[in-house]
Structure formats: C-alpha cells, structure tokens
Amino acid sequence: MYSDLTNGLPFMKMHGLGNDFVVLDAREKDVLDARADGTPALPKVTPALAQAIGHRQFGVGFDQLAVITSGAADAHLTFFNADGSTSAACGNATRCIARFLMEETGKTQLHLTTDRGDLAARDAGNGLTSVNMGHPQLDWDEIPLARQMDTLELPIDGAPTATGMGNPHCTFFVDDVDAIDLAGFGPGIEHHALYPERTNVQIAQIIGPDHIRMRVWERGVGITLASGSSSCATAVAAARRGLTGRAVRIDLDGGTLHIDWREDGVWMTGPSAHVFSGVLTPSFLESLT
C-alpha cells in the first residue's frame, strides 16, 4: 500500500461506531522514519503531518491516525490523535485494523503489538471482532496521576474514577448523560492538574446491572461518537464501584460495544467498517515538507 511523493500515499478510512480513523499501511516501508539515502521520501509522521491529514476541511479528517508496521507479531500499530499527540492505545482502531488483517490473511486470531503492549484479536462471528485490551491499570502512578491517591474516587467534583488502559481515563457516573454539556465539561477535565498527561473523559449512566449508557470526550480530539478504550475503562470503573458486573453492554452515541473484564484482560467486542480507500496526492504531501 506504500508509495512515495511521486505517486502519492495510499490510505484507508475506517470507523468503529463512528469513531473514525485514517490508516496507513506501512508494512513494506516505514513511514515513521524518513529515508536516509536521499531519495524522495514520505514525510515522517510528525504531529504536523497528523494534524494536516486529520483536518476535516483541509485534509481527510479523523479522530485518530493509525500506522500499521511489521513486527515480531502479525503487525505493530502506532496511534496519533487529531491534535498530533500520540496515544499508546486505541481500541476501536485496533478492532478495525484487526478485521482488515483477518480478511487479508484468512486468520481468525491475531497477535498485535502496540505501545500499550501485546494485544490478542479474534473473529467473534457475525461480522464482529473482539480485542483483548489488556489488564487495566488501577494504581495512581500507572495511570498516571500527579500524586498518590485512591483511584476509585478522585478528589474532583463528582468523585470520578481513574483508570488506565494504556491511556488515562476519568469516568463520572451521572443520572442522565444527555443532561451534561460535554463540550463545556470535557476540556477542563482533560487538562485537570491531577492528570499530567491529560485524560480521556467519560460520563456514564447505569441503566442496569449489565447495561451502561456512555458519552466520551477524547484526549487530543474532543467529543467522539465512540471510544473503545473509554468503554473498557468505564466498564472497569463500574465493576470496581459495584454498579455493574464485569460483563456489560455499553451504548455510545455511535452504537453498542460489549465489554467483558476477564482474568486475562478486558475484552471488547463490536463492529467495524472499512469505508473507502484513497490516495493523498503528491501536491498535498509536498506542501507539508
């Protein structure tokens, strides 16, 4: 799928429940590092490049950019947010790419690596894909928080729960998620002093012992229709607080995910979509160098 500045850069547009991604398949060539031999090269995936591609008017538009590279396992995934910052984990993008790789190879199980660690993925049938997002990080210094404290109820109005899923999360349990002005509420919590690396923000409403309604403000992105890692974090937080069991249905603005916190990690199951493939033109790429 890789090309160069002469022919443009192929990409795929995917989404998981409306949480959308631009995916670069760099398994043949490493777009994360510019060439050293002086030949025409793709620009490195820098914050500026990610921001340019992510702009919904002047680029392609995405919530996250994902880069597939070769590794010791089936593939390695690297994630960038729309503001150009990096993220060690992106659950919906991982699920989308896992489905793409399974259709490409005919495999029903995959071993993927990320900056979060090793992740297992498998075909769940009926077009659904399951990904084990790993064990949650529950200690303050792993999430991370700015100082030692009980992560179950933070000293923030609303007593939210902190959880790490390879990226930091802050989950508020409320009576009615639709009554919250998430656009006004999210930025202040994302940049709260207790979170030195900023945080994803969830507002969650308990519908039943195995059912949650949730909305999300993503770190470096803003409001998104869905978030896989946020769904995992919310399920873990609800179970820790005794509000639900460890297997829950989570209804997001873009659709439904099923989360199951098991002994081997937090499993996330849901649909994915490969919407279209395209090419970033040479002139667009040259304007960024």
104 annotated as belonging to a binding site for a ligand: no
CB count within 10 Å of CB 134 equals 20
Tell me: is residue 91 an annotated ligand-binding position: yes
On whether 70 is known to bind a ligand per the annotation, the reply is no
Helix (H/G/I), strand (E/B), else coil: 242: coil
Residue 64 among known ligand-binding residues:
yes
Which residue type occupies 46? T
Q: Across-strand partners of 267?
A: 132, 260
Residue 2, token pair as written in the block: 């890789």
Start-to-end C-alpha separation, the chain = 21
CA torsion 207-273-232-82 (nearest 10°) is: -110
92 is annotated as contributing to ligand binding: yes
Tokens of 15: 């989404």
Asked whether residue 19 is marked as a ligand-binding residue, the answer is yes
Has 231 been labeled as part of a binding site? no
Residue 132, annotated as binding a ligand: no
Catalytic residue, from 90, 96, 170, 232: name it.
90
* Token duo for residue 253: 């603005």
90 counts as catalytic? yes
Residue 227 counted as an annotated binding residue: no
Q: State phi, psi for 201 to the nearest 5 degrees.
A: -125, 130
Nearest to 62 by CA among 81, 78, 45: 81
228 is in an annotated binding site: yes
The residues annotated with a catalytic role in the active site are: 90
> Binding site, residues?
19, 64, 81, 91-92, 167, 200, 218-219, 228-229
> Binding site for substrate, residues?
19, 64, 81, 91-92, 167, 200, 218-219, 228-229
